[in-house]
Each structure stands twice: as structure tokens, then as C-alpha cells.
Amino acid sequence: MSKIIVEGSNRLSGEINVQGAKNSVLPVLAASILCRTPCVIHNCPDILDVDTALRILKHLGCKCQKQGTTVVCDASSITNCDIPENLMREMRSSVVFLGAILSRFKRASISSPGGCELGPRPIDLHLSSLKALGAEIEEDHGYLQCNAENGLYGKEIHLSFPSVGATENIILAAVCAKGKTVIHNAAREPEISDLADFLNRAGGKICGCGSDTIEIEGVSFLNGIEHSIIPDRIAASTYLCACATANGKITLNGVIPAHMISVLSVLRDAGCDLDIHNNKLTISVNGRLNRVPTVRTLVHPGFPTDAGPCVIAMLSRAKGTSVFVENIFENRFRYIDELNRLGTKIKTEGRVAVIDGTDHLEGASCSCTDLRGGAALVVAALSSEGVTEINNISHILRGYDNITETLCGVGAKIKLVV
Ligand code: UD1
């Protein structure tokens, strides 16, 4: 079983080129099946979730090639309209392929994604929206059978919650539907805008992304294009928290600071010195951080739930007590028991975590419960005395491109043992 070994208490120093965004590349790869000529997608991170997405595309009949951080996807000879259960299980966000498959084939069959490590993860908003566009959806032996024999038709859709995945699925289903779709209370995350940029340059007519009302005028076809995935704001936040916790000075290259305003504000409150020049962000930290006012996760542009675990790990080393409230997912604190093995003093009740800062963490053996919780263990381990062994790291590899090499490059003593 592979694991990550960290020898803590080394200051970080140097530069990191931030990977492409996991949460952008997945819907963009799904969108590529709507294009009648090949797509060339640059800045794809080398992560397990991209490998899973490519396996889904190959299963559907796409020709995919990956070279470095570029993926070429040719969906002209696509034949299948189902996603096998094993691939759905590996990555619950595979559900974002549903809208695209339905648009291309007028039918789709996927296994129900079920619950996950962050608590129940319903897809009711995805399904009710696709039904509003004209799909009939039945559950059959754990599979969702979707049919839109008469095609998909634009509609006004009011989301009761601005779900990221549901917004993406609606865009993918509506971009080639007949007529106009309007999404009210749409998600405003930057990854939605990246998907719309991709589709618009391929011939789509989508406007309003970044606001809570998105309008999509259906077009009859899309052409393949070249596209570069936006930087991963969550990976960037992870490296900032690593530096804040371990101390030192690092520069992140290729970030979009405007996507990270709420995280940067918490880092400033904690006493980190941040210097921003266009797409370069330098953090320098000496000594212990300060406690911060209560952090609450919210939809974008609020504080992102995915940045929570690493910020909690960072605050566990601060002077004083901080409070963190998780508003997006029901059960996101499972990793905290593992973090506490290193000596952090964090108590949780329901959606609230109370973090008593400590000046001493001690390396220990621990295990990842989920992707961002796993990254939080790495962040805490970097400032712990002695050696930390992190197990069950496939979670981390789902979303971080070469995390051990990246951190070694800035002076951390960390290695991947396979
Ligand atoms: C995406 C991100 C994930 C991030 C999350 C919130 C990807 C691949 N994943 O996940 O990293 O943490 O946004 O920013 O982009 N919900 C429902 N019914 C639905 C859909 C969602 O009740 O049909 C609820 C979920 O249970 C959750 C909340 O809405 O409590 C947010 O979910 P959503 O915005 O859909 O997140 P994902 O798209 O799954």
C-alpha cells in the first residue's frame, strides 16, 4: 500500500507552479463529447480523477491521448451512452457526464452515485433539472435510465441551492438543446465560468456565468477547440496553508488571486504576509499565526468548503482558539480524528469545529478519510516534530498532481512510498 512519509519542522522556500483545476478539467472533459471535431485541452493536472475521466471517455468510444499536461479527445466515433458502476464508484463527480451524454445520445445510463466520504450526496437537483429539459429518468436496479427521445428543450430552471454539479449538468445538457434555458440561483464558482468559456469558444451561446443567472441559447453543434484549464485555487490554498504552518516564504506561479479572495483574507487575518503581482502570489510567514474570527464555508465567492481542512490544520498551530463552521456538506469532519493523532486540539460538534491552537505537534501514523482531509494531514505533518506516516493516500492522489515532489521542491522532507 502506498503511503506518504513526512519529516516535519522544515521551513519552506522556493516557487511552485500551480496545477490546473481538478474541478474544471472534469466538466471540460465531459463537454468534449459534445464536439464533433477533436479538442485539445492544456494544463490538465496529472491526477487519478483525470485518469478516471479518461477511462469514462474511452468507455464511451472517444479516442483520448494524454501527453504531459495536454489531453486530446476525439469524440467523433463515440458509441456508448453508459458509465459502468466501477467508474461511477471511483469518482462520484462522474455524474457530470450525464448531461453531456444525454445531449449527445438522447439517452444515458449511469449507476446511482450514492453517498460518499463527505456525507450524503444527493443528485436530486441534477435529475429534476434534466427532467425539466425533457428527459425521462427511471431508477432500475441501481442504474439511472435516462431518455429524451424527443430531444432536450430549453426551460427556466430555479435551483433551490446553487449546486456546482447541477449547474454544470444543466449547461452541458442545454448547450445543444432546442431553445433557451435560463438557470436561476446558479452556482458562481470560477470552474463554471471555465466550462462556459470552453463551450462558447466551441460555438455555444452561454452568458451570465459568474452571476446567479445563466442564459443558454441552444445551438445545433459544437466544434473541437484548444483550451487551457484555469489554475486550481484549492491546490493553491493547500500550498499557502503548508507554508503558513511550516513557516518560510514561497511564491505560487500561475494563480488567479481573484478566485481566492476569501481564503487570502483568512490567511491575512492569521498574520501571513501576502504579496500579489498579477498571477504570482508570495506568502511569507515567520513564527506562530494568530487565531482568526469565525470562518464559515459558503458558496462562491464565500469561503470554499474544499479549502476548509487545510485552513483548520493551519489554525491548529495558531495562538488562541478559532472556530470553523461547515455549511455546505453534512459530514466533512471525519479527518479531524486523524489530525488529532498528531497532537492538534480540535473538537467538533455537528457542523462546528473548535480549534485550540498548540505550539507543538508530534509526528504519528494516520490515514486519509477523503481528498482534502488527506491534504490537511500533509499540512499538519510539515510542522510536526519527527516523522508522520500518512496511509490510504489514493484520496490525495485523486486531486493533487505530484504533491510530494512539489513540496520537496520547496524544501519539505516528504516522500511517496509505493
Ligand atoms: C463540487 C466540487 C466539490 C466542492 C463542491 C462545493 C467538483 C467535481 N466537485 O461538488 O469539490 O466541494 O462543489 O463547492 O466540482 N446537493 C443536493 N442535491 C443535489 C446536488 C447537491 O442536495 O442535487 C447538496 C450537496 O449534498 C451538498 C451541496 O448541495 O450539500 C453542495 O453540493 P454541490 O455544489 O452540488 O457540490 P458538487 O458539485 O458535488
Does the C-beta of 121 come closer than 6 Å to ligand 1?
A: yes
Nearest atom of ligand 1 to the alpha carbon of 127: 23
Cell of 55: 477511462
Residue 211: closest CA among 190, 232, 240: 190
Predicted local distance difference test score (pLDDT) of residue 42: 98
- Chain-centroid distance of CA 3 in Å reads 22
Least confident stretch, 139-148, 255-264, 373-382: 139-148
List of residues 6+ apart from 262 with CB closer than 8 A:
298, 301, 302, 303, 304
- Residue 349 has phi, psi (to 5 degrees) of -145, 115
Predicted local distance difference test score (pLDDT) of residue 277: 96
Cell of 303: 469561503
Q: Which of 164, 167, 297 to mutate to test the pocket of ligand 1 (most atoms within 8 A of CB)?
A: 164
- The Cα–Cα gap between 413 and 9 comes to 9
Nearest atom of ligand 1 to the alpha carbon of 125: 23
Predicted local distance difference test score (pLDDT) of residue 64: 97
Whether residue 338 contacts residue 309, with contact meaning beta carbons closer than 8 Å, is answered with no
Average pLDDT score over residue span 154-178: 98
Does the C-beta of 26 come closer than 6 Å to ligand 1?
A: yes
State the pLDDT confidence band at 237, using cuts at 50, 70 and 90: very high
Q: Which of 121, 171, 183, 305 to mutate to test the pocket of ligand 1 (most atoms within 8 A of CB)?
A: 121
Neighbours of 15 (CB within 10 A): 12
Cell of 399: 486531486
Does the C-beta of 53 come closer than 6 Å to ligand 1?
A: no
Whether residue 111 contacts residue 143, with contact meaning beta carbons closer than 8 Å, is answered with yes
- Residue 51 has phi, psi (to 5 degrees) of -60, -45
Nearest atom of ligand 1 to the alpha carbon of 121: 26
Q: Which of 98, 130, 157, 163 to mutate to test the pocket of ligand 1 (most atoms within 8 A of CB)?
A: 163
Average pLDDT score over residue span 232-248: 98
Cell of 146: 435516462
Taking the centre of ligand 1 as the mean of its atom positions, its distance from the CA of residue 28, in whole angstroms, is: 17
Taking the centre of ligand 1 as the mean of its atom positions, its distance from the CA of residue 364, in whole angstroms, is: 32
Q: Is 418 exposed, middle or buried (0-12, 13-18, 19+ CB in 10 A)?
A: exposed
Average pLDDT score over residue span 88-115: 89
Residue 121 has pLDDT above 80, yes or no: no
Predicted local distance difference test score (pLDDT) of residue 222: 97
Taking the centre of ligand 1 as the mean of its atom positions, its distance from the CA of residue 163, in whole angstroms, is: 5
Whether residue 273 contacts residue 248, with contact meaning beta carbons closer than 8 Å, is answered with no
Average pLDDT score over residue span 3-13: 96
Cell of 309: 481542512
Predicted local distance difference test score (pLDDT) of residue 24: 98
Q: Which DSSP string do the residues of 210-265 spell out, in sequence order?
A: TBSEEEEE--S-B---EEEPPB-HHHHHHHHHHHHHH-EEEEEES--GGGGHHHHH
Q: Which DSSP string do the residues of 150-219 spell out, in sequence order?
A: T--B--EEE-SS--HHHHHHHHHHHTTSBSEEEEET----HHHHHHHHHHHHTT-EEE-BTBSEEEEE--
State the pLDDT confidence band at 115, using cuts at 50, 70 and 90: low
- Chain-centroid distance of CA 110 in Å reads 21
pLDDT digits (tens, 9 = 90+) for 216-233: 999 999 999 999 999 999
Taking the centre of ligand 1 as the mean of its atom positions, its distance from the CA of residue 123, in whole angstroms, is: 9
Average pLDDT, the chain: 96
Taking the centre of ligand 1 as the mean of its atom positions, its distance from the CA of residue 127, in whole angstroms, is: 14
State the pLDDT confidence band at 112, using cuts at 50, 70 and 90: confident
- The Cα–Cα gap between 35 and 239 comes to 35
48-60 and 22-31 are packed helices; what angle lies between their axes, rounded to 10 degrees?
10
Does the C-beta of 166 come closer than 6 Å to ligand 1?
A: yes
Whether residue 233 contacts residue 23, with contact meaning beta carbons closer than 8 Å, is answered with no
Nearest atom of ligand 1 to the alpha carbon of 126: 23
**β-pair type (345-349, 295-296):** unpaired
Predicted local distance difference test score (pLDDT) of residue 83: 94
Average pLDDT score over residue span 232-242: 98
Taking the centre of ligand 1 as the mean of its atom positions, its distance from the CA of residue 164, in whole angstroms, is: 6
Residue 116 has pLDDT above 70, yes or no: no
- The Cα–Cα gap between 83 and 81 comes to 7
List of residues 6+ apart from 371 with CB closer than 8 A:
395, 396, 398, 399
Average pLDDT score over residue span 291-307: 98
Residue 122 has pLDDT above 90, yes or no: no
The one-letter amino acid at 283: I
Average pLDDT score over residue span 94-123: 85
What residue owns the CA closest to ligand 1's atom 8? 23
Cis? peptide before 120, omega within 30° of 0? no
pLDDT digits (tens, 9 = 90+) for 39-74: 999 999 999 999 999 999 999 999 999 999 999 999
Residues in a beta bridge with 3: 417
Predicted local distance difference test score (pLDDT) of residue 114: 59
Average pLDDT score over residue span 202-214: 97
Whether residue 153 contacts residue 195, with contact meaning beta carbons closer than 8 Å, is answered with no
pLDDT digits (tens, 9 = 90+) for 263-294: 999 999 999 999 999 999 999 999 999 999 99
Whether residue 49 contacts residue 26, with contact meaning beta carbons closer than 8 Å, is answered with yes
Residue 110: closest CA among 81, 133, 152: 81
